[in-house]
A and B are shown apart, each in its own frame.
Chain A
Amino acid sequence: GAGVSQTPSNKVTEKGKYVELRCDPISGHTALYWYRQSLGQGPEFLIYFQGTGAADDSGLPNDRFFAVRPEGSVSTLKIQRTERGDSAVYLCASSFSGGTTEAFFGQGTRLTVV
């Protein structure tokens, strides 16, 4: 597509439930990033994919968070046993090859855990 697409735009879930957030990167981009942004803060890194593999998952806060990118294109961020503290905007970005190439962000998924 023309830009990075994230679905859903908004997600409200009950505490303890499982959620999946989807990111469709720009076609041909091999690098994909997930970030999380809380109110009034800058985005914080979660995980970086180069192709199908997670090259850097050092930002995932705990083992309830997991992300996949099985075919090197679409990525899914999975959160198990959601907690109220997981409420935030989850942002996805892609770039042509990571490193020295420009990254473009999607519009984000606003997750609210009630």
Chain B
Amino acid sequence: SQQGEEDPQALSIQEGENATMNCSYKTSINNLQWYRQNSGRGLVHLILIRSNEREKHSGRLRVTLDTSKKSSSLLITASRAADTASYFCATDPNTNAGKSTFGDGTTLTVKP
């Protein structure tokens, strides 16, 4: 069963704009992670946010977590063409620790 679901499925923006993608999940979690995948490559870890945290920053990335709504958002500010990739959220549920579940991803295209 799929725990995390990203929204939108696809997003196309101009370079310099901000990109926001969302992740919703179904059960209580220990943490939520965001990953990036460039075409033909493995996933790259971006950021981890724990269930007792509400917001984290890493460079141009800002992640929020709302456990009451079971949702998270990833904001990429001042996007670049190199940010073009698929972005996945992964949740580590309380009841199934160690079995991170990935959503289907958001495909981001940043036009130069």
Bound pair: A and B? no
Residues of A within 8 A of B (CB): none
Which residues in B have some Cβ–Cβ distance to A below 8 Å? none
